[in-house]
Amino acid sequence: MLALDFPALVAQADHVVVGNVESSTSHWDGSGRIVTDVSIRVDETMMGDRATGEVLVVTHLGGAVGEVGLHIEGEARFAVGERALVFGANVRGSSTLVRVVGMSQGAFEIRAMPEHPGEDMVMPSGAGLALMQRVQNSRLLPAPPALLEPRSLSSLRPMLRELIGARGAR
C-alpha cells in the first residue's frame, strides 16, 4: 500500500477528529461481507462536520458475527475505551458511511506514557501494512509511516491545522 504522510492523510480526509471509542459492532453488510461499525465520541474536531460530543461512526471490513470471523490485515483496529486521532473519509455514494483513510494509517491511538507525564501521546499507526512509496521510473520502495515514534498531540495540532487550512485555501 502507498504510504500516506500527514499532508496525504489530510488531503484524503473529510473528517479529522480526536475522540473516545464508545462501541464496536460487527454485522453483515448488503454485499455479504462482515463489517464493523466503530462509534467515536468526538472530543475535538479539526476538520469535518461533527461537533464536540457528537458521534462519528467509522466502518471497516472485518469483525466477527456469531461463529464467523473475518480479519483484514492492515485494517484499522479500535478498542472500546481507547482515545484516538482519526482521519475519516466519506464513502462515495453514501450519506452515512465513513471509512478510515489508508486503512490503519489513518487511525492513531492516543495514550498516556509515564515518560511524558501530562501529555497525550499519539502512537505510530499503519500496523499490518507493507508501506511503499513511488520513486523514479514508477518503482516502488519501502516507505515509513506518517509517524515513526510517539509524539504529543499538542505538538501535532499546529501542523495538522496548518495542513487543513492550506487544504481549505485551494
* Position with higher pLDDT, 118 vs 60: 60
> Does 115 or 75 have the greater pLDDT score?
75
Provide the residue range defining the domain that includes 44.
6-168
Other Cβ atoms less than 10 A from the Cβ of 160: the count is: 19
Tell me whether residue 136 is in a domain.
yes
Q: Report yes or no on 1 lying in a domain.
A: no
In a domain, 43, yes or no: yes
Strand partners, 23: 39
Q: How many domains does the chain have?
A: 1
Helix, strand, coil abundance in the chain, percent, nearest 5: 20, 45, 40
What is the CATH classification number for the domain harbouring 76?
A: 2.40.50.120
Which residues, including other chains, have CB under 8 Å from residue 71's CB and lie 6 or more apart? 62
Is 28 contained in some domain?
yes
Q: Is residue 71 part of a domain?
A: yes
47 within 8 A of 106, measured Cβ to Cβ: no
- Give residue for cell 483496529: 77
pLDDT score, position 94: 74
pLDDT in tens, 66-114: 999 999 999 999 999 999 999 999 988 776 789 999 999 999 999 988 8
Q: What is the pLDDT of residues 43-60, one digit of tens each?
A: 999 999 999 999 999 999
Note whether residue 59 is domain-resident. yes
* pLDDT (average), residues 138-162: 94
| Cell numbers at 109, concatenated | 491511538
Mean pLDDT to the nearest integer, 13-21 = 97
Residue 170 confidence (pLDDT) above 70: no
Radius of gyration of the chain from its Cα atoms, rounded to whole angstroms: 16
User: What's the pTM value of the predicted model, to 2 decimals?
Assistant: 0.94
119-133 pLDDT per residue, tens? 999 999 988 899 999
Q: Are 2 and 156 in contact (CB under 8 A)?
A: no
